[in-house]
Amino acid sequence: MFKHILITGGAGFVGSNLAVRLKQTFADLKVTALDNLKRRGSELALARLREHGVEFAHGDVRCAEDFDTVSGYDLLIDCSAEPSVQAGASGSPAYVLNTNLSGTIQCLEAARREHAAFLFLSTSRVYPISTLNAASFTETETRFTWSDPTGAEGITTNGVSEKASLEGARSFYGASKLAGELLLSEYVATHGMKAIINRCGILAGPWQMGKVDQGVVTLWVARHIFKKPLSYTGFGGTGKQLRDMLHVEDLFDLVCKQMAKPELWDGRVYNAGGGLANSVSLCELTKLCQTATGNTIEIGAKPETSPVDLRIYVTDSSRVSKDFGWKPQRSVPDLVEDITRWVHEHADSLAKVLG
């Protein structure tokens, strides 16, 4: 069992939730969160981290010296990132590349110096956009769904498995994360680093500071609560794009199961997501938000599709389920209810960030 975990991006959505839940679950564990507080709203996590006994180091993963204030950790969980697929889609990709690639290199170097294991929060966005959007699909009244055979290896109605092709462009975000994965595999091979890579689909839950380009479930719930307009953007503007959602509590359960099996930390790659059973389209999400919040808001339509948008993404998590006996336990309605409760409880501070 690990004794001290450093979580980079530890004031962000995933990082702060993992930090708090790890402290709550393992009383003797030391947890340090390092973050540059770049994401608007991450500053709101600081009081919660303190309250739960998580130490905080203000630092930037792009800067090697910022790791000097923390030592003695035996696991580094890399959650520091510019997590938007839109980053660099117009204008310079410098921040996404410098944080997600150069920053990951600094994280890897810090872990190597400490002889620490490495858990990398990668993304489904490593899979190429053109392959995913070319897979055969059907259109129902409320959603797009893949139809078998999809014509693409590793992609079925049950989702994308690790067998799917990595050939083709995938956005600066996806490319920077895939490059991080490749470098991590070199640290495993050359330095015997213990590592696991989780390629996550959409993660959601309380403490996600959702915005238009990232964090869709929080964005949708918050706009319903604060009665602000939304739009269905892309693929004709009908809101039928489909995604699977993984509750951050289910991710935490997976991380615990992975920590309990050190023999599997050989750099292997897993697709981890909510799966077809926990998939939802935007217009279906609207209905869930109306039920949870009691509000109905205006939703516009912007038919034009961004070059980095996907019609459908569903995760096939069979491999990670088999290796760790893990299955998501929380449904999409549970997720929407949890986020609704959280926004109501913190409405004053969140109105400034999410409103």
Ligand X SMILES: NC(=O)c1ccc[n+]([C@@H]2O[C@H](COP(=O)([O-])OP(=O)(O)OC[C@H]3O[C@@H](n4cnc5c(N)ncnc54)[C@H](O)[C@@H]3O)[C@@H](O)[C@H]2O)c1
Q: Which is nearer to ligand X, 15 or 275 (CB)?
A: 15
Give 65-87 as a DSSP string: GGGTT----SEEEE--S---TTT
Determine the size of the site formed for ligand X (CB under 6 A).
28
Which amino acid is located at 195 in the chain?
A
Does the protein bind ligand X through residue 13 (CB under 6 A)? yes
The DSSP symbol for 287 reads H
104 binds ligand X (CB under 6 A): no
Closest separation between CB of residue 310 and ligand X, Å?
13
Kindly state whether residue 180 participates in binding ligand X, applying the rule CB under 6 A. Answer: no
Residues 6+ apart with CB under 8 A from 55: 30, 31, 32, 33
CB of 182 to ligand X, least distance (A): 15
Under the binding rule (CB under 6 A), the answer on residue 60 touching ligand X is yes
Q: Answer yes or no whether residue 103 interacts with ligand X by CB under 6 A.
A: yes
Least Cβ distance, residue 66 to ligand X (angstroms): 8
Of the candidate spans 76-84, 318-326, 327-335, 337-345, the one that interacts with ligand X by CB under 6 A turns out to be: 76-84
Q: Applying CB under 6 A, does 203 fall inside the site for ligand X? A: yes
Choose between 129 and 203: whose C-beta lies nearer to ligand X: 203
Nearer to ligand X, 127 or 136 (CB): 127
Amino acid letter, residue 180: G
| Residue 46, both tokens | 């600081």
- Per-residue tokens: 30: 């030391």
DSSP string, 20-82: HHHHHH-TT-EEEEEE---STTGGGHHHHHHHTT-EEEE--TT-GGGGTT----SEEEE--S-
Q: How far is the CB of 136 from ligand X (least distance, A)?
A: 25
Binding test (CB under 6 A) with ligand X, winner from 32, 99, 218, 233: 99
Confirm if 172 and 349 have CB atoms less than 8 A apart: no
Please state the closest distance from residue 125 (CB atom) to ligand X, in A: 7
Q: State yes or no: residue 242 binds ligand X (CB under 6 A).
A: no
Query: Can residue 80 be called a binding residue for ligand X (CB under 6 A)?
Result: yes
Best CA proximity match to 245, nearest among 295, 208, 197: 208
* Residue 44 touching ligand X (CB under 6 A): no
131 binds ligand X (CB under 6 A): no
- List the one residue from 5, 12, 143, 259 that touches ligand X (CB under 6 A): 12
Strand ranges in the chain using DSSP code E only, listed in sequence order: 4-8, 30-35, 55-58, 75-78, 117-123, 137-139, 144-146, 155-156, 159-160, 195-200, 202-204, 230-233, 242-247, 266-272, 279-281, 299-302, 312-313
First to last CA, the chain: 41
Q: How far is the CB of 123 from ligand X (least distance, A)?
A: 4
Binding footprint of ligand X on the chain (CB under 6 A) = 9, 11-15, 35-39, 42, 60-62, 79-83, 99, 103, 121, 123, 177, 200, 202-203
